[in-house]
Structure 1
Amino acid sequence: MNTIVEWVLDLMEQIGGPGIALGIFLENIFPPIPSEVILPLAGFTSAQGHYTPVEAVLWATLGSVAGALLLYGIGAALGLERLKVIAHRMPLVDVADIDKADAWFTRHGPKAVFFGRFIPGIRSLISVPAGIDRMRLGSFLGFTTAGSLIWNSLFVAIGYQLGDRYELVERYMDPISKVVYALIILAVLGTIAWLVRRSMRRTQDPDDSIDIETLD
């Protein structure tokens, strides 16, 4: 990870703003790359005169939106019906759960996209269900840009103020991120446990079956 961060820092220093955009784009499609480190680095390099803080925020937001659009496109290409086909072939998963999740996202999608930009791990992945749900592209771009702009501005400003002490951000954000990731893992494990218990309670019920040919 240190090698990746050093590579991104080198890009920022050599090609300026586009290096920030590329780093944040990669962070979106590969969440283990921490934006909590890349963005303060952008603030630090802007303090050195490579570009202005405003330029750093704008380039970072461009990278965020580009990465989100790619994941949105993957979700849209997958689509709800294909997801149902996959769910039908997976043990423990009920196709009705997909419909419920899709109904929830249809109601709360804009809030999920906006507030999801502030949660490690969720920040990138929230674009996939938005694509699956075919959320209006204008709304998706608007809420993605707004959330990303706030997040990017905060960490670029912190890096700018801290200067060469930007490592302090990683020191304090790392345990917070680990707690969030741990909660996400616990939520996933809890969901799996619930699915297993539900499957064990059920006998083979014809009403739970689905004609796979209707989904193809």
Structure 2
Amino acid sequence: MEEWIISFVEFLKQFGYLGIMIALTFEFVPAEIVLPLAGYWVFEGDMSYWLVVLAGTIGGTFGPLTLYALGRYGGRPFLVKYGKYMFIKEAQINKADAFFMKYGAIVAFTGRFVPGVRTLISIPCGMAKMNVWVFSIYTFIAMFPITALYVYLGVQLGPRWKDVGGLADQYLLPTAIILVVLIVLYVMWNKRAVIFKRTTK
């Protein structure tokens, strides 16, 4: 299966950065393969690092929207019955659902950094009818550093780009924690600024 996916992604290379975006809109095509491979193309001098990151982030935002739509308009019964045809197992749905119930809407962001959850976290977001714009913004913000990391490691490892997957997972969760802390600090700072303005009027 992996070799078939690699062949498919290499076929899409002829479309340049658009090909990377297209590859990532198919959720059965793992970003863990597409992005390090694209990093290898950067290593070879065929593409620009930042344009690959941009294309990967956009594609990585559109892709989850398909699972979001399945969750929102198909619901659990549809996914349990037909998910196997899309490589979705009920156990995976349950795991993503439990993660969503525990952490709430912010999982549209943080869930992207958690192995075993990152792909299917879109489904419970859809089933909960989370605002699609909020979902898309959270997904985009999460996908940018993830994409940058995978592509960077692909560039650094070059011909050994297939080794990126296990290496990247070591950095993803700490990155999520740092980003969440920064977001919380930003929100708190804004609230403090608003309160200060009100008290000084």
Calculate the TM-score normalised by the size of structure 2: 0.65
1:3-22 aligned within 5 A: 3-12=4-13, 14-22=14-22
Does the alignment pair 1:24 with 2:24?
Answer: yes
How far apart, in 1, do the equivalents of 2:3 and 2:75 lie? 36
Return the offset for 1:54: 0.9
Q: Distance in 2 between matches of 1:148 and 1:67?
A: 11
Count matched residues.
153
**Structure 1 residue 37 and structure 2 residue 38: aligned?**
no
Cα shift at 1:105: 4.4
1:1-216 equivalent positions in 2, closer than 5 A: 1-12=2-13, 14-26=14-26, 28=27, 30=28, 33-78=29-74, 105=100, 108-170=103-165, 172=166
**Once the 2 structures are TM-superposed, how far is the Cα of residue 118 of structure 1 from its aligned partner?**
1.7
For the residues of structure 2 that align with 1:70 and 1:125, how far apart are their CA atoms?
11
Q: CA deviation at 1:132?
A: 1.1
TM-score by length of 1: 0.61
Q: Following TM superposition, by how much is the alpha carbon of 1:21 offset from its aligned partner in structure 2, in angstroms?
A: 1.3
| Aligned mates of 1:71, 1:159 — CA distance in 2 | 27
**Shift of the alpha carbon at 1:36?**
1.9
Cα displacement string for residues 6-41 of structure 1 (whole angstroms, at most 9, x for unaligned residues):
3212322x1111221122222x2x2xx432222111
Q: Percent identity?
A: 33
The AA in structure 2 aligned to 1:48 is E
The answer as to whether partners of 2:100 and 2:121 remain within 8 angstroms in 1 is no
The offset of 1:107, in angstroms, is 7.8
Residue type of the alignment partner of 2:22: L
Deviations along 1:82-135, one digit per CA (max 9) or x if unpaired, are 78xx9xxxxxxxxxxx9xx79x94783332111111233421211111111111
Unaligned runs of 5+ in 2: 82-93, 171-201
- Are the counterparts in 2 of residues 40 and 155 from structure 1 also a CA contact under 8 Å? yes
Kindly provide the amino acid, as one letter, of the partner of residue 126 in structure 1: I
Specify the code of the residue in structure 1 equivalent to 2:148.
Answer: S
Q: From the CA coordinates, give the structure whose radius of gyration is larger.
A: 1
**What do you get for the CA RMSD once the two structures are aligned?**
3.0
Structure 1 contact 105–133 (Cα < 8 Å) conserved? no
Deviation at 1:151, TM superposition (A): 0.9
The 3 A distance-change label for structure 1 pair 71 and 162 is same
> Matches of 1:79 and 1:129 in 2, distance apart?
9
Aligned mates of 2:74, 2:144 — CA distance in 1: 28
Partners of 2:131 and 2:103 lie apart in 1 by 13
Cα 1:106–1:142 shift into 2, 3 Å: farther
Find the residue that maps to 2:115 and give its secondary structure.
coil
For structure 1, list consecutive stretches of 5 or more residues without a partner in the other structure.
87-97, 178-216
Tell me how far 1:139 sits from its aligned partner: 1.4
Tell me if the contact between 1:109 and 1:135 (Cα under 8 Å) persists in the aligned partners. no
Give me the whole-angstrom Cα distance separating, in 2, the residues matched to 1:136 and 1:167.
36
